[in-house]
Structure 1
Amino acid sequence: MPEKRNTPHELRVYKIVILGDGGVGKSAVTLQFVSHSFTDYHDPTIEDSYQQQAVIDGDAALLDILDTAGQVEFTAMRDQYMRCGEGFIICYSVTDRHSFQEASEYRKLIQRVRLSEDIPLVLIANKIDLVLARKVTTEEGKNLANQFGCPFFETSACERHCIDEPFYTLVREIRRKEAQGSGTSSEKLHSRRRSRWWRIRSIFALVFRRRRNLN
């Protein structure tokens, strides 16, 4: 008899949103995590949602990742996916000080939408392979992460340096939060958010499909 394999529907799905300015490498980091491939050009007409199975601390997981590529048509949906996401990765580039400063604005957006909730968050500084172009120090990144109260990683999508760790750590943060809370009301809230999440992903896919057809 063939060995039974878990399907995505049997796995715990972790809804992850990756935020950051355009050009910081959000999509490159995500693609390296999902497909172990790198491209220095990301076509914005490609659907920006990805899934990856992983075994983290012995437990299987399906990471459902929404890359919010900064598309104008999604600005109105921002509050929706921020309400539905279970964990967030804020990404900036060490070669772009403005993207570093904007990281705090993304954190404020999450806080505004989720109010009093303790939201699992990871801060990553990408493009550390571009040593000569660096404008943001490691110490500055660590200090910002301390202000956010979250883990911090420096990454290179080009060299696949420290790519898996931020995603695995975020799943651990989500699990830690779940372990702290329980009850029927919590389950109902998760159920509503799961439903909204899949609707948002469907809208993303539809818009990107229309953009590809127009091009």
Structure 2
Amino acid sequence: MRLIQNMTTIAECAAPEYPAHNRVMKIAVVGGSGVGKTALVVRFLTRRFIGDYERNAGNLYSREVQVDGEQVTIQVQDTPGAEMTDNGVSLPDHVSCSIQWADAVVLVYSVTDRRSFDQIQQLHQLVTRTGGANVPPVILLANKADLVHLRRVDSQQGPLLAGTLGCSFYEVSASEDYSQVHGAFHRLCGQLAKQPPPASSSSNNSVGATTEKRRSPLIPRPKSPNMQDLKRRFKQALSAKVRTVTSV
């Protein structure tokens, strides 16, 4: 899969504009707070890692890519973190809507956070219930594999859980290895590419009605990430590394 040009953000998800020939693949990234969902999305789409992010308010990212020779538009919905309560997993309402909207779901936990791992089974149940008869493809992503000294989830537990849930598993480090992150999303996009396009794309008369029906539960104006701020933080991170090397 080859990334094309620069990443863009969608400020109006109710009326996005794409080239007429482009197929759109929609991916929702779901998991606990602080597991690195935003870092994974930005790493996949820009190859960059920025270690400092504001609390995610639900950003929607878009980029044109090549998947198996076909030019498509990938939308990635980054979602606010799930929290554990006495009654189970607590999710903002629009996270469920994002799952309903998505063609595929990436469930994320951090190997340094046992609670985020314990949430996964309930999150998968939510995906299954929300999808109904059309459950989207799901992959399980374990992040922060580089933090060996902070690991709280054994490396064998992720594959075992994925086997129980019937989904693919990947253990990655968003901070240290772009190829791992890219590989996981690449395979998911390849899986989507093998599926028939949504019925709405085959008829101009049905596009508006079908698309509007799926989009209507979503927040009409998701907060767009400030790309200038992301670039500034990335430059600051690079400068910090340079200063460290110089001081040594």
Trace 1:46-65 onto structure 2 (pairs within 5 A).
48-65=59-76
Unaligned runs of 5+ in 1: 210-215
Per-residue deviation, residues 195-214 of structure 1 (Å, max 9, x unmatched): 633873642238x89xxxxx
Shift of 1:33: 0.9
Structure 1 residue 177 displacement after superposition: 3.7
Contact preservation (8 Å) 1:32, 1:160? no
- TM-superposed deviation, 1:160: 2.6
Q: Does the 8 A contact of 1:85 with 1:197 survive in 2? A: no
Segment of structure 1 superposing worse, 135-144 or 89-98 = 135-144
2:50 is the alignment partner of 1:15: no
Q: What residue in structure 2 maps to residue 175 of structure 1?
A: 193
Distance of aligned partners of 1:45 and 1:166 in 2 relative to their CA distance in 1, 3 Å threshold: closer
Q: In 2, Cα distance between the equivalents of 1:87 and 1:143? A: 21
Match of 2:79 in 1: 68
Equivalent AA in structure 1 for residue 221 of structure 2 = I
1:200 aligned counterpart, secondary structure = coil
Structure 2 unmatched runs, 5+ = 6-16, 84-90, 227-248
- Give the number of the structure whose alpha-carbon radius of gyration is greater: 2
Q: CA deviation at 1:19?
A: 0.2
Structure 2 distance, partners of 1:78, 1:45, is 12
Provide the residue aligned with 2:170 in structure 1. 153
SS in 2 for 1:99: helix
2:182 equivalent among 142, 164, 170 = 164
| 1:127 corresponds to 2:105 | no
Whose helix fraction is larger, Structure 1's or Structure 2's?
Answer: 1
Deviation at 1:83, TM superposition (A): 1.3
Query: How far apart in 2 are the matches of 1:28 and 1:108?
Result: 25
Q: Which runs of 4+ in 1 moved over 6 A?
A: none
The DSSP-based 3-state class of the residue aligned with 2:64 is strand
Structure 1 segment 66-215 matched on structure 2, within 5 A: 66-70=77-81, 75-161=92-178, 162-178=180-196, 192-193=210-211, 196-197=214-215, 200=218, 202-205=220-223
Deviations 1:44-100 (A, max 9, x none): 36761111222222222221000002399x812233222111000000001111101
Shift of 1:24: 0.3
- Between the aligned partners of 1:156 and 1:132, the Cα distance in structure 2 is 14
SS at match of 1:178: coil
The count of aligned residue pairs is 200
Structure 1 residue 110: deviation in Å?
A: 0.7
| 2:194 partner amino acid | R
TM-score normalised by structure 1 residue count: 0.79
